[in-house]
A = this chain, B = another copy of it.
Amino acid sequence: MGDRLLETARTNVRRRGDRGSFDRALAYAILDEALVAHVGFAVDGLPRVLPMTYGRIDDALYLHGAIANAMLRASDGADVCVTVTLLDALVLARAAMHHSMNYRCVVLYGRAERVDDEVEKRRAFDAVVEHSVAGRSVVARSANAAELRATLVLRLPIVEGSVKVRAGGPVDDPADLGLPVWAGIVPVHLARGEPVADGGTVTR
C-alpha cells in the first residue's frame, strides 16, 4: 500500500478542500484513536447507518458489531462507507454563521468481505478487543471455536477514502472582530472515568 488513500470521485473533498487529505498515516491515527465507526450501507437503494466497533490490522479494517448482525450479513460483499469522527472542539465565532466544530474524520469506501479463515478471524477478533483497551485480548479468555463460528467478521481493505480535519480558532468576518462577543474554542474529548468492577453475579 502506498502512503496515500485512493482518491476517487466520491472521496471528493471539494468544499473547504484545504481541510481534505489522503494521508494514510493520518487516517490510521484517527482510526486508532476513535472507538466507534458509523457504517453506511444501502438496502434497496436506501441508506442505513449503524454504529459499530472495529479494529485495524495494517491496511485492513475489521468490523464485528454484535449489535448489527443482520446488517453485517447484508454487508458481506456489499459496498459500504465507514466513517469515523473525532470531535475536538466547539468553535464559537462572533457571528452565528461562523460557528463550527473542530474534528478529524476518516471516510472509507469499499466492499466489505466476510472473513472465513480462522486464523485471520481470530486476529481480527483480538484486534477489535484490543482497540478499546490495549492488552485486553491477552487478559480475557480467548474466543473458543464455537464463539468464533457465531461471530461474523467483515474485512474492509483500506484503499479508497479521505481524511478531513478542521482545526484552529473561529474565522470571523473582519467587520465582526470588534464585536463584544466572546469567541474561541471549547476543547472536547472523550474522557474515561473510573472503572466500575462487575459484581460477578451477572449471568446470561
Contact = CB atoms under 8 A, between A and B. Distances in A.
A39 B39 CA distance: 10
Contact of A92 (B68, B83, B133): B133
B85 A36 contact: yes
Contacts of A93: 140
Most buried by B among A42, A48, A96, A186: A96
Interface residues of A, number: 99
> How many chain copies does the complex carry?
2
Interface stretch (A21-29, A101-109, A113-121): A101-109
Given A70-B12, A133-B92, A105 B188 contact: no
Given A189-B190, A198-B169, A38 B83 contact: yes
Contacts of A10: 43, 46, 48
B183 A198 contact: yes
Given A96-B141, A183-B197, A38 B85 contact: yes
B95 A140 contact: yes
21 contacts: A14-B70, A38-B49, A40-B40, A40-B81, A42-B42, A45-B45, A47-B49, A51-B103, A53-B101, A90-B133, A96-B125, A96-B129, A139-B182, A140-B181, A141-B181, A172-B203, A177-B203, A182-B195, A183-B198, A184-B197, A185-B198
- 10 smallest CB-CB distances across A and B, nearest first, come from A40-B49, A187-B193, A40-B47, A38-B38, A191-B191, A49-B83, A184-B197, A40-B40, A51-B85, A169-B198
